[in-house]
Amino acid sequence: MKCSIMVGAVCIFLLGTTAVRAHSPEGELFFAVQFPDNAIPVMDGDISEWDIVPESPYHLRNDRLSAPDPSILTAPRGSADPSDLNLHHVVGWNNSQNKLYFMSEVFDNIHNIDREDVARFWDDDALEIEVNPSAVAAGEKNLEGQPVNQFSYKWSVPPLEGQYQYIEPISTYTWFQDGTEFIDFGWAFDGEMFGESTYYYEMAITPILALSRDEASSKEGSEILDLEEGTTIHFSVNFGDIDETGGEDNYNSFWGVSTDVPCCNATSDLVMAELDPLLLEALATRVTAVEEVSWGRIKAGTTR
């Protein structure tokens, strides 16, 4: 599938026999902005590098999120109270690095990290990102005895006793953790660490089509997806909000892009977009501004 992005509109062309598989929300596509090589964001929690991304169709805010899980909260799309939880997500990709990039900005009136068991990340506020690069149907995901084809990257920060990442369904491979060539995660925050605050999350991953369950051959035997313009994968981005102590029984809400239950499955279609002219224009403006500041400092006799 090829997608042509034009100023003010998104044009979708279905070519040949390629078809969008069943997904949620039905009939809707999400888009990963393409970063040129000179604009790849650093995964450090500073989201200013994402400012060049045009608003439409890439930015996902409260109006495109829902809470469909009846065990936590059932609330229609766009009904989140921004004074309690205000969410903002963007997904990107780069061709030469062959990576996906995720940015989440989360305002929360109470940021909760107080779980008694450090392994029960779901007892605290957590960002959960699911990626299914092969875009297979729910009944074909992570079948017993077969290679893993859907991955959950779950983050709960600040770290508690050093624990902050939960990679599922396999979390024991040392080469498949934060800080490796396959996963890079960064975070920062403004405000009160455990009170009213805004947290910033960034993650870069290499999209794996099939991960061997044999640890000895897992890295070399993994099959990697080659990202291209028009490539469509399945994904989900969710945030679990807990404002009181006592763990998952005190979920305040759980908001995500999918309307499916259960909540945490990659069931939404994500398309790798072509280079957006509005992004290139914003990038050129930013580069020019930096050059003018640098030249001004040189003329003033200082490099600081």
- For the stretch 259-291, pLDDT in tens is 877 767 898 999 999 999 999 999 999 976 655
Q: For position 300, what pLDDT does the model report?
A: 56
41 and 50 Cβ atoms separated by less than 8 Å: yes
Amino acid present at 66: S
Reduced to 3 states (helix: H, G, I; strand: E, B; else coil), residue 255 is: strand
Q: Which band of pLDDT confidence, cut at 50, 70 and 90, is reported for residue 96? A: very high
- Taking a C-beta distance cutoff of 8 angstroms, is the pair 239, 12 a contact? no
Which of 230, 189, 234 lies closest to 207 in space, CA to CA?
A: 234
Establish whether the linkage from the previous residue to 41 is cis, with ω within 30° of 0: no
Measured from the Cβ of residue 181, the count of other Cβ atoms closer than 10 Å reads: 11
In a shared domain, residues 140 and 66: yes
**What are the structure tokens assigned to 65, written together?**
């999120």
Do 64 and 171 sit in the same domain of this protein? Answer: yes
Owner of token pair 């396999």: 170
121 and 169 co-located in one domain: yes
Task: Tell whether 201 and 232 lie within a shared domain.
Answer: yes
Condensed to tens digits (0 to 9), the pLDDT of residues 99-128 reads 999 999 999 999 999 999 998 888 899 999
Query: Is residue 225 located within the same domain as residue 81?
Result: yes
pTM of full prediction above 0.85:
yes
Block residue for tokens 């042509």? 4
- Residue 138: burial class (beta carbons within 10 Å; 0-12, 13-18, 19+): middle
Answer yes or no: is pLDDT of 244 > 60: yes
Q: Is residue 4 in a domain? A: no
Q: Which domain holds residue 284?
A: 276-304
Considering the domain boundaries, does residue 15 fall inside one?
Answer: no
Strand, coil or helix: what is 86? strand
Alpha carbon separation from 130 to 1, 133, 257 (Å, rounded): 22, 10, 11
pLDDT band at 238; cut points 50, 70, 90:
very high
Is residue 146, in this structure, part of any structural domain at all?
Answer: yes
In this structure, are 280 and 262 located in the same domain?
Answer: no
Domain annotation covers residue 13: no
Residues 189 and 150 in one domain: yes
Same domain, 127 and 242: yes
CATH code for the domain in which residue 86 is found: 2.60.40.1190
**Whole-angstrom Cα distance, residue 11 to residue 31?**
12
Q: Residue 1: inside a domain, yes or no?
A: no
User: Are residues 236 and 299 both part of a single domain?
Assistant: no
Residue 6 covered by a domain: no
pLDDT digits (tens, 9 = 90+) for 14-48: 333 334 445 778 889 999 999 999 999 999 999 99
Query: Does residue 150 contact residue 131 with C-beta atoms inside 8 Å?
Result: yes
Any domain includes 242: yes
Number of domains in the chain: 2
Three-state DSSP class for 223? Answer: strand
Answer yes or no: do 260 and 303 share one domain. Answer: no
Do 108 and 196 touch, CB atoms closer than 8 A?
yes
| Domain co-membership, 260 together with 301 | no
Residues 283 and 226 in one domain: no
Residue 7 forms part of a structural domain? no
Long-range contacts from 180-189, C-beta under 8 angstroms, 24+ separation: 181/206, 182/206, 182/208, 183/153, 184/43, 185/43, 185/153, 185/155, 186/42, 186/43, 186/44, 186/45, 187/45, 187/155, 187/157, 188/44, 188/45, 188/46, 189/45, 189/111
